[in-house]
Amino acid sequence: MDRRRFLQGLTVAGCSAAAHPLLSTVTMAQGAGLGENRLIVVILRGGMDGLDVVQPVGDPDFVALRPDLAHSTFSLENRFALHPALGGLQGLWTAGQLGFVHATSTPYRDKRSHFDGQSLLEAGTGMDVAIGSQRDGWLNRMLQAVPGLSAETAYAVGREALPLLEGQGPARNWTPEVNLVLSAQSHLLLDHIYHDDALFREAGEEAMTLSAELSGQPRRDTVQAAPEKGPFNPGENRPWKDIDTLVDFAAGRLAGATRIAAFSLSGWDTHRGQEGAIKTPLSRLQRIILRLQAQVGAQVWGRTTLVAMTEFGRTARQNGSSGTDHGTGGVMVLAGGALRGGKVYGQWPGLSEAALYDRRDLMPTSDVRAWAAWAMRGLYGLDRQVLETAVFPGLDMGDDPALIL
Amino acid sequence: MIDTPTLAAIRFGYGLPQPYPAAGAESLLAALAAPDNMAAQHPTVGFAELLPLLARAADARKMIRADPTQRDTYEAVAKEAVLLADSTTRTGFARAIDAPDGFRERLTAFWADHFITKARNAPERPLPNTLTHDAVRPHLTGRFEDMLIAATLHPAMLSYLDQVASVGPNSPFGQKRGRGLNENLGREVIELHSLGVGGHYAQSDVRQMALLLTGLDANARDGFVFHQNRAEPGAETVLGTSYPGEGLAPIKAALRDLARHPDTAHHIARKLATHFVADNPDPALVTTMTTAYAASEGDLMAVYAAMLQHPAAWVPQLQKARQPVDFLLAALRALGLSGDDLRKMRRGPFNRMIMQPMALMGQDWQKPSGPDGWAEEAEHWITPQGLGARIAWAMEVPGRLVVPMPEPPDFLRTALGTAADEPLIWAAARAESIREGVGLVLASPSFNRR
The pLDDT tens digits of the residues spanning B126-143 come to 999 999 999 999 999 999
Question: Where are chain A's structural domains?
Answer: 33-178+235-391
The pLDDT tens digits of the residues spanning B290-325 come to 999 999 999 999 999 999 999 999 999 999 999 999
Cβ A159–B364 below 8 Å, yes or no? Answer: yes
The pLDDT score that the predictor gives to residue B58 is 96
Query: Does A193 lie at the interface with B, CB-CB under 8 angstroms?
Result: yes
Query: Does A320 lie at the interface with B, CB-CB under 8 angstroms?
Result: yes
Q: Which of helix, strand or coil describes residue B199? A: coil
Query: For A154, phi and psi rounded to 5 degrees?
Result: -130, 140
Cβ B392–A178 below 8 Å, yes or no? Answer: yes
Residue B395 lies in a domain: yes
Alpha helices for A215-349 (secondary structure H): 241-255, 274-277, 279-301
- CA within 13 Å, CB half, B160: 28
Cβ B384–A111 below 8 Å, yes or no? Answer: no
Residue B391 has pLDDT above 80, yes or no: yes
Q: Which of helix, strand or coil describes residue A152? A: helix
Strands A81-82 and A304-310: unpaired
Q: What percent of chain A has pLDDT over 90?
A: 58
The pLDDT tens digits of the residues spanning B173-220 come to 999 999 999 999 999 999 999 999 999 999 999 999 999 999 999 999
* Domain hosting residue B395, numbered range: 324-448
Alpha helices for A195-339 (secondary structure H): 198-214, 241-255, 274-277, 279-301
d(CA B205, CA A169): 42
Closest residue of chain B to A206, computed from CA coordinates: B384
Residue B182 lies in a domain: yes
Residue B135 lies in a domain: yes
Name every residue whose Cβ is closer than 8 Å to that of residue B153 and which is 6 or more positions away in sequence: B216, B224, B248, B251
Closest residue of chain A to B317, computed from CA coordinates: A197
Query: Does A269 lie at the interface with B, CB-CB under 8 angstroms?
Result: yes
Residue B11 lies in a domain: no
Burial of A229 (0-12, 13-18, 19+ CB in 10 A): exposed
User: Of the candidates B160, B310, B167, B317, which has an alpha carbon nearest to the alpha carbon of residue B228?
Assistant: B167
In the DSSP assignment, the letter for residue A377 is H
Dump the DSSP string for B375-430.
Answer: ---HHHHSSHHHHHHHHHHHHHSHHHHSSSPPPHHHHHHHHHGGG--HHHHHHHTT
Q: How many C-beta atoms surround the C-beta of residue B167 within 10 A?
A: 27
Separation in Å, CA B390 to CA A277, A392, B406: 34, 35, 19
User: Of the candidates B388, B399, B397, B378, which has an alpha carbon nearest to the alpha carbon of residue B450?
Assistant: B378
Separation in Å, CA A175 to CA A150, A155, B4, B288: 19, 10, 38, 42
Could you tell me if B347 and B437 lie in one domain?
Answer: yes
- Domain final residue pick, B222, B242, B260: B260
The pLDDT score that the predictor gives to residue B368 is 87
Query: Does B383 lie at the interface with A, CB-CB under 8 angstroms?
Result: yes
User: What single letter denotes the amino acid at residue A180?
Assistant: L
Q: Which of A10-19, A23-32, A293-302 has the highest mean pLDDT?
A: A293-302
Q: Which CATH architecture has domain A33-178+235-391?
A: 3-Layer(aba) Sandwich (3.40)
The pLDDT score that the predictor gives to residue A357 is 97
Name every residue whose Cβ is closer than 8 Å to that of residue A24 and which is 6 or more positions away in sequence: none
User: What single letter denotes the amino acid at residue A264?
Assistant: S
Residue B293 lies in a domain: no
Cβ-Cβ contacts under 8 Å, B424 against chain A: 193
Contact A284, A240 (CB under 8 A): yes
Alpha helices for B312-368 (secondary structure H): 324-334, 339-344, 347-350, 356-360
Given B161, B183, B387, which is nearest A319 (Cβ)? B183
Given A110, A182, A319, which is nearest B180 (Cβ)? A319
Contact A168, A141 (CB under 8 A): no
User: Of the candidates B19, B20, B29, B3, which has an alpha carbon nearest to the alpha carbon of residue B299?
Assistant: B29
Q: What percent of chain B has pLDDT over 90?
A: 94
Could you tell me if B333 and B256 lie in one domain?
Answer: no
Could you tell me if B163 and B54 lie in one domain?
Answer: no
d(CA B161, nearest CA chain A) in Å: 8
Cβ A325–B182 below 8 Å, yes or no? Answer: yes
Name every residue whose Cβ is closer than 8 Å to that of residue B262 and which is 6 or more positions away in sequence: B294
The pLDDT score that the predictor gives to residue B101 is 80
The pLDDT score that the predictor gives to residue A22 is 23
Query: Does B352 lie at the interface with A, CB-CB under 8 angstroms?
Result: no
d(CA B29, CA B23): 10
Could you tell me if B403 and B363 lie in one domain?
Answer: yes
Could you tell me if B387 and B416 lie in one domain?
Answer: yes
Question: What is the per-residue burial (b if ≥16 Cβ within 10 Å, else e) of B285-306?
Answer: bbbbbbbbbbebebbbbbbbbb
Closest residue of chain B to A130, computed from CA coordinates: B198
Average pLDDT of the residues in B42-70: 95
Q: Please state the domain count of chain B.
A: 3
Average pLDDT of the residues in A184-191: 91
- Domain final residue pick, B214, B241, B260: B260
Could you tell me if B444 and B329 lie in one domain?
Answer: yes
The pLDDT tens digits of the residues spanning A213-244 come to 776 554 444 455 555 667 788 899 999 888 88
Mean pLDDT of chain B: 95
Could you tell me if B340 and B441 lie in one domain?
Answer: yes
The pLDDT score that the predictor gives to residue B264 is 98
The answer, yes or no, to whether the previous bond of A170 is cis (omega within 30 of 0) is no
d(CA A145, nearest CA chain B) in Å: 23
Could you tell me if B333 and B371 lie in one domain?
Answer: yes
Contact B126, B84 (CB under 8 A): yes
- Domain final residue pick, B204, B239, B260: B260
Q: A6-20, B72-86, B108-122: which range is least confident on average? A: A6-20
Cβ A161–B384 below 8 Å, yes or no? Answer: no
Those of residues 149-188 in B touching chain A at CB distance below 8 A are 161-162, 165-167, 169, 174, 179-184, 187
Residue A15 has pLDDT above 80, yes or no: no
